[in-house]
Structure 1
Amino acid sequence: MQVVDPHIHLWNLKTHHYPWLANPQTSFVGDARELKHDYLLSDLLRDAEGIDVLKLVHVDANHDPADPVEETRWLQGIADGEGRGMPNGIVAGADLSSDNAPQVLEAHAAFANTRGIRQILNVHDNPLYDYVGRHYMREPQWRKHFALLKRFDVSFDLQLYPSQMEEAAQLAREHADTQFIVNHAGMFVDRNAPQGYRAWREGMRALAACPNVAVKVSGFAMFDHEWTVESLRPYVLETIDTFGCERAMFASNFPVDGLFGTYAALWNAYAQIVGDVSASEKDALFMRNAERIYRI
């Protein structure tokens, strides 16, 4: 099976600082203590044995917020050296609310493989699920700096919860010339009541109504630690049906989702779920959309 994986993370704990791995905790995502070890390109490719990985997109691994550009510098060095082009795309981390955001964006954009920016936006009333504790999209300075993404020709990886999707759809409409990519199928978190499903479904439809928004079909293991093909199937198919085969792309979220299954098992599950789609649609979902949207 050939894939382009548009959502992986690498880290080197010997040379770089990742606050979340300095004192790892157990959360709904899993036990981060099991991730407190170097995870390099060679480790990813070893985990991918049996899957022909053509290209990779690295998404910021919550690197030291005091020096987010160092992560991009390190990744570009890998791509220019032993990675032989990989990671082919880099989605860098930046705090758009900070005073120095314009300088950080400019520095990221100077690297050849930079394609996008991610700032995690997840806010939730339940502290278990709350990542950032503030509504960045409502802050004037954050929105002012968001407008700079177009100048630097970078996309925005949109990581949020369903309750934030209507607000994000408005942002996407206001910035119709910026590419948005929804992370992890919208992180459907409130699964224990019909209104939670409704919020996810309607929020995803609001985002999909914006032609500049695409979605990664990924991250399900964070909410389904004992996943099976059948437990993933309804969420995978609903996501693809909402965005269409032309704006959806499968991704691994490794090594985080590796806490709950192998790389090959995950990709083979995706392949089984969409086994009846056309060959051209499979090519789009597994390779071509990621290549086109991340320009790699």
Structure 2
Amino acid sequence: MTLSAISHSGEQPLIDCHHHFWALADIHYPWLSDQYDPHFFLGDYRSICRPVLPDELRATVPAGYRLIGSVHCEAEVERVQTLAETRWITGLAAQQGLPSAHVGWAPFGQEHCAAVLDAQCESPLFRGVRAKPVTASRPQHRESVLNQPGSLQDAHWLSGLKLLQERGLSWDLRVPAWHLQEAAQALQDYPDLRVILNHTGLPWDRSPEGLEQWHAGLTALAANPNVCIKLSELGTPLQAWDRRQNLQLLCDAIRLFGPQRCLYASNFPVAGIQVSYADWLAMIEEAIALTAPMARDDILWRNACHWYRLMPADGA
């Protein structure tokens, strides 16, 4: 899909590589409508249990920036409606100009997975899938899910990655940091698969041991040239928002992956529970200035064009 024009009154172009929309009408999201989770990892999320649409995202982007495109990520829709979500997002983009691409969901490990993927590919926005493997809620419980159905050791579930690879689709990988090295190992069997790591690798365990595990996991994934990382969502269920530490984590991620494999993303509107859009973007800008000042445009929008196959309107 072609993005909106790049140059516009000197404003900084921006592509938001991870956000969510929902209308809460014909599409059902259980976690937003009828299954409120008091243990949600960012805390009380009742403020976002309402329609969220493109005009709100545009209005949230601070002055001095122009949102030229965006990538919508599946929003935990009721799984029988995954195709309905893709079709709704496709229609929304046609009407309102956002998003520019869509990452859907598919039933890995089930017989109809290939058919669901092929149906989703009918949308010109569809770029790939976010399907989450079974993971442990705490690092000390990691071994309890090893080799379980749906885990990163389950060859049947992982066969979904082969279907993505065959179709030239990407996988949005979302696991907490204590599973990153397992993910890197699993991906060795899919050398041509494009992978986008979500939420800076979710460094939820901020103990020295936890951060060492996160660093080792990112290092293992960064060794795969087909993996990039979204600089997004550093909220954690295990401690309060820590701007200083989160800035350091962003800098570490940029250094580990290199500026050509880092993408700006907001996790709008979910991240707003803990940090405003403007404050998050300012942190990203500071991390870029500290680590890769010559790659500002790359991280803020150009890399998204490559990893999500977007086409700038002016051919830049």
The TM-score with structure 2 as length reference comes to 0.86
Q: Report the Cα distance in structure 2 between the residues aligned to 1:103 and 1:211, rounded to whole angstroms.
A: 29
1:278–1:226 Cα change, 3 Å: closer
The alpha-carbon deviation at position 15 of structure 1 amounts to: 2.1
2:90 alignment partner, SS class: helix
In structure 2, what residue type is equivalent to 1:73? R
| Structure 1 segments of 4+ aligned residues over 4 angstroms from their partners | 132-135, 222-225, 276-279
Q: 1:125-144 counterparts in 2 under 5 A?
A: 125-126=137-138, 135-144=150-159
1:145–1:272 Cα change, 3 Å: closer
- The equivalent residue for 2:70 is 56
- The equivalent residue for 1:123 is 135
Q: Report the Cα distance in structure 2 between the residues aligned to 1:189 and 1:73, rounded to whole angstroms.
A: 34
The alpha-carbon deviation at position 136 of structure 1 amounts to: 2.8
Q: Report the Cα distance in structure 1 between the residues aligned to 2:194 and 2:212, rounded to whole angstroms.
A: 25
Q: Report the Cα distance in structure 2 between the residues aligned to 1:143 and 1:261, rounded to whole angstroms.
A: 34
Residue of 158, 163, 171 corresponding to 2:186: 171
* RMSD over equivalenced CA pairs, Å: 2.2
Residue of 85, 101, 122 corresponding to 1:110: 122
1:73 alignment partner, SS class: helix
Indicate the larger mover: 42-51 or 251-260: 42-51
- The equivalent residue for 1:292 is 306
The alpha-carbon deviation at position 237 of structure 1 amounts to: 0.6
- The equivalent residue for 1:157 is 172
The alpha-carbon deviation at position 161 of structure 1 amounts to: 1.7
The alpha-carbon deviation at position 73 of structure 1 amounts to: 0.3
The alpha-carbon deviation at position 16 of structure 1 amounts to: 1.1
1:186–1:273 Cα change, 3 Å: same
Q: Report the Cα distance in structure 2 between the residues aligned to 1:202 and 1:135, rounded to whole angstroms.
A: 23
Q: Conserved in 2, the CA contact under 8 Å of 1:122 and 1:159?
A: no
Indicate the larger mover: 177-186 or 29-38: 29-38
- The equivalent residue for 2:26 is 15
Q: Report the Cα distance in structure 2 between the residues aligned to 1:140 and 1:261, rounded to whole angstroms.
A: 38
Q: Conserved in 2, the CA contact under 8 Å of 1:24 and 1:36?
A: no
* 2:20 corresponds to 1:5: no
- The equivalent residue for 1:47 is 60
Q: Report the Cα distance in structure 2 between the residues aligned to 1:292 and 1:156, rounded to whole angstroms.
A: 15
Q: 1:274-289 counterparts in 2 under 5 A?
A: 274-277=288-291, 280-289=294-303
2:164 alignment partner, SS class: coil
The alpha-carbon deviation at position 222 of structure 1 amounts to: 4.2
The TM-score with structure 1 as length reference comes to 0.91
Q: Report the Cα distance in structure 2 between the residues aligned to 1:293 and 1:183, rounded to whole angstroms.
A: 13
Q: 1:35-114 counterparts in 2 under 5 A?
A: 35-50=48-63, 51-83=65-97, 86-114=98-126
In structure 1, what residue type is equivalent to 2:23? N
Q: Report the Cα distance in structure 2 between the residues aligned to 1:225 and 1:34, rounded to whole angstroms.
A: 19
Q: Unpaired segments of 5 or more residues in structure 1? A: none
1:276–1:187 Cα change, 3 Å: closer
Q: Conserved in 1, the CA contact under 8 Å of 2:135 and 2:151?
A: no
1:263-282 Cα offsets, whole Å, 9 max, x none, are 12211221123224555411
The alpha-carbon deviation at position 32 of structure 1 amounts to: 2.3
1:255–1:157 Cα change, 3 Å: same
Residue of 22, 37, 40 corresponding to 1:25: 37
Q: Conserved in 1, the CA contact under 8 Å of 2:203 and 2:236?
A: no
Q: Conserved in 1, the CA contact under 8 Å of 2:134 and 2:152?
A: no
Corresponding residue pairs, total: 291
1:65-85 Cα offsets, whole Å, 9 max, x none, are 1121111100111112222xx
1:57 alignment partner, SS class: strand
